[in-house]
Structure 1
Amino acid sequence: MNLIIEKQPFDGADEAVVENILKAISSSRPAKSRRDQEVFSRLFPALREALEQRGVTRKEILLVLAEQGLKMSAAKFKALYEDEVKRQSEQLERGAGA
């Protein structure tokens, strides 16, 4: 059975509708890729220290992340890591130029 819902045109005059839209937008969760990137950014200092100073392998880090519920492929990890290195380098450059 197909349920057909007739959409009413939005005239912009109903303040209650606008408020409901604003609430829905503000309570929406970011895309999983955005959430992963935000978490990765927070973890980055520890990840970088583990990889570059203590010699922990990416495979070991991926296992730890997966055990904690942050599963990703090696390719995704590499892309997030490289993006974060670039982002932090750009921040340093902007800070030095100020």
Structure 2
Amino acid sequence: MFRNALEPWHLLILVIVLVLLFGSKKLPDTARALGKSLRILKSETKAMKQEGAHSQAAADASSASRPETPHRTIQTAPGDVASARTIQHHVDGS
């Protein structure tokens, strides 16, 4: 039934419909916003992975005392005009 569901001419028709619906002026802005969102998502996931590895190493090396509150700075995505922000995590002592 869906053997050759996505042919090249289907993609061409889809692009033509998108241009007609949204106009050629809005499409580059939409693509730029989508790219910026993907860059932010990528940097956030990378920061979370690094934070997880750092906290695991800190947990292994620390004693039973209460740990300090960790600080993490999230870098902005390339081309983003917002400044970097610091996130403070509250660690429960129990």
TM-score by structure 1 length? 0.32
- Select the structure that is richer in helix: 1
**Larger Rg, first or second structure (1 or 2):** 2
TM-score by structure 2 length? 0.33
